[in-house]
Amino acid sequence: MKRTADGAAAPGTAETVVHRVARPEDGEAIAGIDTSFTTDSVFEVTVAGGGFRVVETRVEPPVHKVFPADDGGGDDQGGPGPDRTVVALDGDEVCGFVTVSFAPWNRRLTVRDIAVAPAWRGRGVGRTLLRHAVGFAKECGAVHVWLEVSNVNAPAVHAYLRAGFVLCGLDTTLYEGTESAGEVALFMSRRVD
């Protein structure tokens, strides 16, 4: 960990990151976070024995994914319950965020979106944002936290596994008709302790 001469955490280190509920003025910074990634493995999904088999596979050359601009269309997985966006800040710079919503009918908290700026990946920012999501889940009385991730986003899948999520389903058609056609949606969840 970088330190200044007086022993304080140096700017740009994980110890300088603070978290708070997002404000309207954070919208532009949130939208400006680079969510692209590069990976040398993907999770291949194949039909096997009347079910599906998901296997991590190396790819050459590595896959570089740039997510399409958000169309604002949303989905039907939400509910009338509360939602929240938490931002991670280094000084005035938004270096990550998580947006969640709660559906009372099945007591599910859905991670709608989560992103960490490239310079902050692998430094605990995403893990802490997920902790905030789980904390909000507890406030709402949720029994589990649920999310969707593309099978080509192996770095995110590994991060979610480390955070206690498990694969709970998939959809081979979710991305049809979009720029992500051919990818498979993996659904992951974790119980709220």
- Cβ-count burial 149-171 (b if 16+ within 10 Å, e if not): bbbbbbbbbebbeebebebeebe
More reliable by pLDDT, 14 or 135: 135
Range of the domain at 63: 14-191
7 belongs to a structural domain: no
How many separate domains does the chain show? 1
Per the CB < 8 A criterion, the answer to whether 146 and 58 are in contact is no
82: nearest Cα among 137, 10, 15, 40? 137
Q: Is the pLDDT of residue 74 over 60?
A: no
6 belongs to a structural domain: no
4 belongs to a structural domain: no
183 belongs to a structural domain: yes
Per-residue pLDDT averaged across 59-84, rounded? 75
Per-residue pLDDT averaged across 22-36, rounded? 96
More reliable by pLDDT, 44 or 69: 44
- Average pLDDT of the chain, as a whole number: 90
More reliable by pLDDT, 160 or 76: 160
- Domain at 179, CATH number: 3.40.630.30
8 belongs to a structural domain: no
The C-alpha atoms of residue 120 and residue 43 are separated, in whole angstroms, by 24
Q: How confident is the model at residue 8 (pLDDT cuts 50, 70, 90)?
A: very low
Q: What is the pLDDT of residue 78?
A: 52
27 belongs to a structural domain: yes
The C-alpha atoms of residue 86 and residue 98 are separated, in whole angstroms, by 5
93 belongs to a structural domain: yes
Q: Is the pLDDT of residue 72 over 50?
A: no
3 belongs to a structural domain: no
Q: How confident is the model at residue 4 (pLDDT cuts 50, 70, 90)?
A: very low
What is the distance of C-alpha 66 from the center of its chain? 15
Q: Is the pLDDT of residue 73 over 50?
A: no
Per-residue pLDDT averaged across 180-189, rounded? 97
Tens of pLDDT, residue by residue over 113-162, are: 999 999 999 999 999 999 999 999 999 999 999 999 999 999 999 999 99
